[in-house]
């Protein structure tokens, strides 16, 4: 494995769409090689800068600090983004 991909979920407590996004991330990452993806979760309630940037769009999914999706996460699109060596096309 060349390098570990970092996937960040930006969420907040009691957010139904955040729960759905978390489940999709867990399912997709479970199908990938172990240690291929480092999943982190940040709450907009813990960070004023995150809140200011993302409060209208949560859940937000970043791959290697680049926006992948907000509001609704597609398992197929996420799988493609995490499985493609050159992820440039799938990050948007």
Q: Name 11's Cβ contacts closer than 8 Å, sequence gap at least 6.
A: 18, 21, 22, 41, 42, 43, 44, 58, 59, 60
Region 43-68: what's the mean pLDDT? 97
Domain boundaries, the chain: 5-90
Task: Say whether pLDDT at 51 is over 90.
Answer: yes
pTM of the predicted protein model = 0.87
Looking at every residue in the chain, the average pLDDT score rounds to 91
* pLDDT band, very low/low/confident/very high, at 92 (cuts 50, 70, 90): very low
Which fold, 5-90?
Glutaredoxin (3.40.30)
């Amino acid at each position: 494995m060349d390098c570990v991909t970092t996937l960040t979920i930006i969420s907040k407590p009691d957010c139904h769409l955040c729960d759905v996004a978390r489940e999709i991330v867990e399912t997709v990452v479970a199908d990938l090689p172990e240690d291929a993806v480092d999943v982190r979760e940040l709450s907009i309630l813990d960070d004023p800068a995150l809140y200011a940037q993302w409060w209208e769009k949560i859940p937000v999914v970043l791959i290697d600090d680049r926006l992948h999706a907000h509001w609704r996460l597609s398992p197929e699109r996420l799988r493609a983004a995490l499985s493609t060596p050159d992820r440039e096309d799938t990050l948007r």
